[in-house]
Structure 1
Amino acid sequence: MTVPFHYLDLRAFCYGTEDHDRVVSALRELVPEEIDIEQTSTEGHHGDTIRVLSARVERADEIRHVLARLRDGDVLEAIEDELDDRLDEDNSLYVHLDKQAAYRGTVRLGKGIALRGKVEAYPATREAALENLREAL
């Protein structure tokens, strides 16, 4: 399988009302074990602590792992007709995944986990990026 991405960034917020380990487990459902999940903290509007969990996937085999998980959940098939809307002017693809479903071992579109993938394209045009995505996905 061709890998049309330079890298994939995944991010989830862990709010004070959520179990930190469950949010980590949800991200782990998507990324390979050898990928570190980094954590930073920020303050919410009402002074509550929000943990930001993030992981960057850069190696081809690791990207294939994430794409395989998305394929298992039919996410790639679901967004196939929306690629034009999901690709920004910098050739980054955006997909939002269901954090609760990921914790339960299922990958599907929803809210809670943001995935951004920098699409490879030579020349670096939107049209070339869309073509690469369509061919690879």
Structure 2
Amino acid sequence: MPVLFQEIDFEVLCHATEDEDKVIQAVKNLIPVEFHSSIRINKAKLEGHYHNPIIKFNIILEGETQVRRTLLYIFKRLNREERRDLTEKFESYLDETGSFYLRVNKNMSYKGVVALKFDTGDIIRLKTKIRKEKPIPKTEIIKEYVALISETTT
């Protein structure tokens, strides 16, 4: 059974000291330009621990082709070591439903560079959902993602 991608959700926080447009641009830099007009932006106002204003953006892109090409776009721009590590440890990036999670450095993304980030600092968190009419074995899901990463090394 093929794995069909449903959506990719980029979640990013914008602190009071940051420019909202630059934060959104950091996310757009992870999405191929031809899909920018297809994104949906949800905005929620939050309050930080010290009552500081925080804005949470969820920037969502839907559709099999758009999600697959966006993942390729991101994977292709990772450095070789990050792609290798991602491939070797892929199962740790999936949850029990088959959703894939990745953290990307927000500041580097704004500069046009894709770099993974493993702490909870200034990140763009992405979550990819797959469409499942029937349960798909986790091994098949992993195989599909690893095949996508492999496409970027050729």
Give the TM-score of the pair, scaled to structure 2: 0.77
Equivalence map 1:25-44=2 (5 Å): 25-31=25-31, 32-34=35-37, 35-44=39-48
Provide the residue aligned with 1:136 in structure 2.
148
Distance 2:137 2:129 in 1: 12
The amino acid across from 1:48 in the alignment is N
Query: In the TM superposition, what is the alpha-carbon distance from 1:3 to its structure 2 partner?
Result: 6.9
Provide the residue aligned with 2:54 in structure 1.
50
Query: In the TM superposition, what is the alpha-carbon distance from 1:116 to its structure 2 partner?
Result: 0.7
1:114 matched to 2:125? The reply is yes
**Structure 1 stretches lacking a partner, 5+ long:** none
CA deviation digits over 1:2-52, x for unaligned, max 9?
975221111100011212121011011123311132211111111111101
Query: In the TM superposition, what is the alpha-carbon distance from 1:89 to its structure 2 partner?
Result: 0.9
**Structure 2 stretches lacking a partner, 5+ long:** 150-154
The count of aligned residue pairs is: 136
Query: In the TM superposition, what is the alpha-carbon distance from 1:94 to its structure 2 partner?
Result: 0.8
Equivalence map 1:75-114=2 (5 Å): 77-78=83-84, 79-110=86-117, 111-114=122-125
The amino acid across from 1:129 in the alignment is I
Query: What RMSD in Å do the two structures reach over aligned CA positions?
Result: 2.2
Identity among equivalent positions (%) equals 25
Q: Is the partner of 2:36 in helix, strand or coil?
A: coil
Q: Is the partner of 1:52 in helix, strand or coil?
A: strand
Q: Is the partner of 1:25 in helix, strand or coil?
A: helix
Query: Where in structure 1 do 4 or more consecutive aligned residues deviate above 4 Å?
Result: none
Provide the residue aligned with 2:8 in structure 1.
8
Contact 2:3–2:141, Cα closer than 8 Å, also in 1: no
Which range moved further: 65-74 or 19-28? 65-74
1:19 matched to 2:22? The reply is no
Q: Is the partner of 2:87 in helix, strand or coil?
A: helix
1:68 matched to 2:37? The reply is no
